[in-house]
């Protein structure tokens, strides 16, 4: 069936097409001057000393862990209500994760109290995720980190252009990691960025991004170097110039597009206050700072089944999604970490549905989603009552 309203959509036009064409015509495709320009523009935008472009957000997270010296014998505290990449990146280093619970239905971010409970003598770092681009409680988390001498990595995949107390998300901790995946606020297909104010972290990440080599093909092309040494076991986590060019255009559009996301989020919130939606909760009502409004999560009333709701939305041509199946419930993680219980994460995750949100959506599209959601909720409630009557 054709989708009338997808979950997310690109804001791509002639500017992106021309930017890609310019790179193709320049005849230099891999990491070079356009990537350097993107790194400069992104570091200026978020207000940080170093920005390193990579091929995806997962690589940024992996490099962040490696640059902080995380490895075998270490534990890293992560939320479970996030994309699996957040935890995977830690496991790539042969460290272990410890999952922390979230705050509650009004704030789906990791709980500072639970972070503190999960600290052991092996804990080396905390990874926070700004869920939906809504800021975690960074002041509290940074205090805990300082008290226990822990590093902080911010998974800011959802949060480009978000600020808290005037400071960009991604720049509160030791390292910030962004994703430029197709559905993100700044989209290049695949792509990502690591940001840090710490010189030695930037230097380690830079070397590891390109096989541990001391010079780049780009340096040699320009005659700045003729050979190289390999000083560490690195990776090929380089980005290419086409995607960097797309990123530069998308970065220019980001503030306006985030503002549009805010407008649409406000419309949704207003509409969802209607009696037709009684029992539905919309997290992040009391926002702190300036979020990036990446997604629009709602929580279905307790006891209402999610599948009939999502099926009915699909029949109306509207795509919905789930953010997220908790990581500790996945088979691999259940085998590796049996018996983990995160009561708030589990109860919230089972009720969560994500509604469409993207800058190109019209106000009328929001109305259309809400009308479909009211019908879908009525259907889901009736399947709930026929279940309880049986
Ligand atoms: C919260 C979160 N962390 C990490 C990632 C990984 O980013 P990427 O897909 O660019 O590797 C994503 C991407 O979906 C994400 O949503």
For residues 287-293, give the mean pLDDT: 93
Judge whether 31 and 218 are in contact, CB under 8 Å: yes
Q: Is residue 207 over pLDDT 70?
A: yes
Q: Is residue 279 over pLDDT 80?
A: yes
Q: Is residue 1 over pLDDT 60?
A: no
Binned at pLDDT 50, 70 and 90, residue 164 comes out as: very high
- Choose which residue among 85, 169, 193, 239 to substitute to test ligand 1 binding: the one with the highest number of ligand atoms within 8 A of its C-beta: 85
User: Is residue 354 within 6 Å of ligand 1 at its C-beta?
Assistant: no
User: Is residue 129 within 6 Å of ligand 1 at its C-beta?
Assistant: yes
Q: Is residue 383 over pLDDT 70?
A: yes
Judge whether 333 and 304 are in contact, CB under 8 Å: no
- Choose which residue among 83, 246, 247 to substitute to test ligand 1 binding: the one with the highest number of ligand atoms within 8 A of its C-beta: 83
- Choose which residue among 63, 179, 185 to substitute to test ligand 1 binding: the one with the highest number of ligand atoms within 8 A of its C-beta: 179
Binned at pLDDT 50, 70 and 90, residue 390 comes out as: low
User: Is residue 178 within 6 Å of ligand 1 at its C-beta?
Assistant: no
- Closest ligand 1 atom to Cα of 129: 1
- Closest ligand 1 atom to Cα of 183: 14
Binned at pLDDT 50, 70 and 90, residue 384 comes out as: low
Residues 37-62: tens digit of each pLDDT: 999 999 999 999 999 999 999 999 99
User: Is residue 64 within 6 Å of ligand 1 at its C-beta?
Assistant: no
Identify which of 314, 295, 287 has the alpha carbon closest to the alpha carbon of residue 82. Answer: 295
CA of 61 to the centre of ligand 1 (A): 9
Binned at pLDDT 50, 70 and 90, residue 224 comes out as: confident
Q: How many C-alpha atoms does 266 have within 13 Å on its Cβ side?
A: 7
3-class DSSP state of 277: helix
Concerning whether 204 is annotated as a catalytic residue, the answer is no
CA of 52 to the centre of ligand 1 (A): 16
CA of 60 to the centre of ligand 1 (A): 10
Residue 175 token pair = 């390292």
Give just the sign of the alpha carbon dihedral 203, 252, 89, 163.
Answer: positive
9 prior amide bond cis, ω within 30 = no
Residue of 184, 204, 253, 315 marked active site? 184
Binned at pLDDT 50, 70 and 90, residue 386 comes out as: low
- Residue 316's pLDDT is 97
- Residue 357's pLDDT is 98
Binned at pLDDT 50, 70 and 90, residue 287 comes out as: confident
- Residue 3's pLDDT is 85
Q: Is residue 128 over pLDDT 80?
A: yes
Q: Is residue 297 over pLDDT 70?
A: yes
Residues 129-145: tens digit of each pLDDT: 999 999 999 999 999 99
Residue identifier of the C-alpha nearest atom 7 of ligand 1:
57
- Residue 220's pLDDT is 78
- Choose which residue among 55, 58, 63 to substitute to test ligand 1 binding: the one with the highest number of ligand atoms within 8 A of its C-beta: 58
Lowest pLDDT segment from 108-112, 187-191, 211-215: 211-215
CA of 58 to the centre of ligand 1 (A): 6
- Residue 264's pLDDT is 98
User: Is residue 187 within 6 Å of ligand 1 at its C-beta?
Assistant: no
- Residue 218's pLDDT is 74
CA of 106 to the centre of ligand 1 (A): 23
Integer Cα distance of 51 and 64 in angstroms: 12
CA of 39 to the centre of ligand 1 (A): 19
User: Is residue 123 within 6 Å of ligand 1 at its C-beta?
Assistant: no
Residues 68-127: tens digit of each pLDDT: 999 999 999 999 999 999 999 999 999 999 999 999 999 999 999 999 999 999 999 999
Percent above pLDDT 70 for the chain: 98
For residues 356-365, give the mean pLDDT: 98
Residue 354 token pair = 């994500």
CA of 272 to the centre of ligand 1 (A): 28
For residues 168-178, give the mean pLDDT: 98
- Closest ligand 1 atom to Cα of 131: 1
For residues 168-174, give the mean pLDDT: 98
Residues 308-358: tens digit of each pLDDT: 999 999 999 999 999 999 999 999 999 999 999 999 999 999 999 999 999
CA of 203 to the centre of ligand 1 (A): 23
User: Is residue 324 within 6 Å of ligand 1 at its C-beta?
Assistant: no
Integer Cα distance of 367 and 390 in angstroms: 35
For residues 230-247, give the mean pLDDT: 97
């Amino acid at each position: 069936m054709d989708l009338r309203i997808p979950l997310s959509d690109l804001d791509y036009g002639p500017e992106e097409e021309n930017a890609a064409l310019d790179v193709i015509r320049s005849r230099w495709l891999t990491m070079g001057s356009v990537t350097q320009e993107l790194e400069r523009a992104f570091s200026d935008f978020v207000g940080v000393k170093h920005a390193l472009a990579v091929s995806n957000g997962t690589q940024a997270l992996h490099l962040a862990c490696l640059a902080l010296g995380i490895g075998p014998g270490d534990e890293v505290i992560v939320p479970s209500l996030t994309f699996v990449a957040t935890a995977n990146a830690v496991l790539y280093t042969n460290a272990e994760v410890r999952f922390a619970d979230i705050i509650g239905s009004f704030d789906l971010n990791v709980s500072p109290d639970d972070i503190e409970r999960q600290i052991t003598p092996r804990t080396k770092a905390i990874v926070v995720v700004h869920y939906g681009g809504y800021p975690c409680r960074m002041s509290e988390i940074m205090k805990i980190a300082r008290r226990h001498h822990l590093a902080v990595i911010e998974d800011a995949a959802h949060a480009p252009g978000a600020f808290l107390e005037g400071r960009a998300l991604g720049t509160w901790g030791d390292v910030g990691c962004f994703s430029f995946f197709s559905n993100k606020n700044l989209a290049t297909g695949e792509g990502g960025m690591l940001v840090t104010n710490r010189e030695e972290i930037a230097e380690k990440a830079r070397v590891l991004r390109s096989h541990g080599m001391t010079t780049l093909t780009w340096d040699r092309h320009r005659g700045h170097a003729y050979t190289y040494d390999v000083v560490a076991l690195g990776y090929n986590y380089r980005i290419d110039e086409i995607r960097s060019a797309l990123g530069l255009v998308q970065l220019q559009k980001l503030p306006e597009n985030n503002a549009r996301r805010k407008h649409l989020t406000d419309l949704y919130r207003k509409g969802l206050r209607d009696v037709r939606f009684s029992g539905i909760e919309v997290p992040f009502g009391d926002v702190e700072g300036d979020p990036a409004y990446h997604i629009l999560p709602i929580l279905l009333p307790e006891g209402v089944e999610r599948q009939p709701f999502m099926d009915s939305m699909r029949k109306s041509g509207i795509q919905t999604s789930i953010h997220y199946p908790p990581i500790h419930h996945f088979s691999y993680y259940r085998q590796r970490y049996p018996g983990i219980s995160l009561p708030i994460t589990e109860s919230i995750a089972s009720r969560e549905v994500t509604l469409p949100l993207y800058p190109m959506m019209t106000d009328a599209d929001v109305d259309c989603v809400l009308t479909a959601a009211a019908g879908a909720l009525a259907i889901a409630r009736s399947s709930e009552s026929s279940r309880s009557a049986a």
